[in-house]
Copies of this chain bind each other. A is one copy, B any other.
């Protein structure tokens, strides 16, 4: 079965509206529905689709409502349409349980969960973009009785939105995001929480490390409260692992012997290497070239022009905040084998660069 439309999008917030825009970009007819007539008008005005009237027969319904309303909205759609139904919620087991507890077998087989790993610090239809899903993983989570055609349609939807679909069971998905998303979020909040109220003369020593570790702790607490709440079981499993490891770490720091601490730190190094590298391949060894850059518009352009001329591909960039002077430090992360080449090229161009 191929995705021909129409696609009905229920909920025109950031994700729903972005989905509508991406489908329209691909020439698929999109119908929109929202309990907020204001959101609906905005999404429609942006070109994400047209408001549903009720007489249409969608091929696929995508439910994009907040976690607290997900189960009920999925059930309502399975009852009122004959379409295949999916969603874009951050957690998959709970909504499936809700659907399975009330749906008929035919309704249940028309449902397949989904979770595009995309978002923004902003919300609402005005923040939407057809390119929101570009290059992002999109988890598709069939349950044992999901119709294969439903899964095929959602895989096609994900690809059409520019995402990279990944098939997992709902339970696996929830365990995966507990570890790779919800745990980092909570731990980032713990570290950041230890900075709140610290003396300013202590915080002035903050370097790039603590900024990286705490960046995501700045996200919307209300949204994360719902997400964590909906995945409490899997989150508690990994939190209890972390609690044991933290106890082991406290014992290791207290001990006059250092081997145990070294082993915990080495396990961390192994973990960073386990995260897939760019383009899904194994992580390649990279090196950082540091460059001093005056803090004016245009200087970064000049730097990247010179870096581009060197022919060395930049894998990642960081700009280090400078606590006292109008000079920034830019970190260019490149293939380890080519870092010296880049450094030399930049130095020839008059940049102060080092590794």
Determine if B326 and A279 form an interchain contact, defined as CB atoms under 8 angstroms apart. Answer: yes
Given contacts A246-B242, A264-B189, contact A354 B127 (CB under 8 A): yes
Asked if A221 lies at the interface with its beta carbon under 8 angstroms from chain B, I say: yes
Task: Report the minimal beta-carbon distance from A326 to chain B, rounded to whole angstroms.
Answer: 7
- A173 contact set on B, CB distance < 8 A: 205
Task: Report the minimal beta-carbon distance from A251 to chain B, rounded to whole angstroms.
Answer: 10
- A129 contact set on B, CB distance < 8 A: 290, 352-355
Which of A29-37, A73-81, A149-157, A253-261 contacts the other chain?
A253-261
Determine if B279 and A196 form an interchain contact, defined as CB atoms under 8 angstroms apart. Answer: no
Asked if A278 lies at the interface with its beta carbon under 8 angstroms from chain B, I say: yes
Given contacts A191-B183, A271-B195, contact A164 B212 (CB under 8 A): no
Which of A49-57, A105-113, A227-235 contacts the other chain?
A227-235
Query: Chain A 170-205, CB within 8 Å of chain B: the 1/0 string?
Result: 001101110111011111111111111111111111
In angstroms, Cα B206 to Cα A131, docked, is 19
Determine if A201 and B312 form an interchain contact, defined as CB atoms under 8 angstroms apart. Answer: no
Asked if A349 lies at the interface with its beta carbon under 8 angstroms from chain B, I say: no
Interface secondary structure of A, over-half rule: helix
Given contacts A207-B117, A213-B213, contact A194 B183 (CB under 8 A): yes
Contact of A275 (CB < 8 Å), options: B184, B185, B210, B240 = B210
Given contacts A180-B203, A195-B180, A325-B135, contact A250 B239 (CB under 8 A): yes
Asked if A8 lies at the interface with its beta carbon under 8 angstroms from chain B, I say: no
Determine if B327 and A206 form an interchain contact, defined as CB atoms under 8 angstroms apart. Answer: no
Asked if A101 lies at the interface with its beta carbon under 8 angstroms from chain B, I say: no
Given contacts A137-B323, A261-B229, A304-B303, contact A268 B179 (CB under 8 A): no
Contact of A135 (CB < 8 Å), options: B128, B176, B329 = B329
Query: Chain A 322-333, CB within 8 Å of chain B: the 1/0 string?
Result: 111111110000
- A267 contact set on B, CB distance < 8 A: 189, 192-193, 196
Asked if A295 lies at the interface with its beta carbon under 8 angstroms from chain B, I say: yes
Instruction: Determine how many copies of this chain the complex contains.
Output: 2
Asked if A274 lies at the interface with its beta carbon under 8 angstroms from chain B, I say: yes
Looking across the interface, which residue of chain B has its beta carbon closest to that of A273? B218
Task: Report the minimal beta-carbon distance from A140 to chain B, rounded to whole angstroms.
Answer: 12
- A298 contact set on B, CB distance < 8 A: 308
Given contacts A180-B205, A184-B213, contact A265 B304 (CB under 8 A): no
Determine if A131 and B354 form an interchain contact, defined as CB atoms under 8 angstroms apart. Answer: yes
- A278 contact set on B, CB distance < 8 A: 295, 321-322, 328
Determine if B269 and A217 form an interchain contact, defined as CB atoms under 8 angstroms apart. Answer: yes
Asked if A72 lies at the interface with its beta carbon under 8 angstroms from chain B, I say: no
Asked if A249 lies at the interface with its beta carbon under 8 angstroms from chain B, I say: yes
Taking A162-B327, A300-B308 as known contacts, 17 extra A-B pairs with beta carbons closer than 8 A to each other, sorted by chain A number, are A120-B290, A128-B354, A130-B352, A135-B329, A166-B205, A187-B187, A187-B191, A190-B245, A190-B249, A192-B272, A212-B215, A212-B216, A217-B272, A225-B261, A229-B261, A243-B247, A301-B309
Can you list 18 contacts pairing A with B, beta carbon distance less than 8 Å? A120-B290, A135-B328, A172-B201, A176-B203, A184-B210, A187-B191, A188-B209, A189-B264, A189-B267, A191-B242, A193-B264, A195-B274, A212-B215, A217-B265, A228-B261, A236-B250, A242-B246, A279-B323
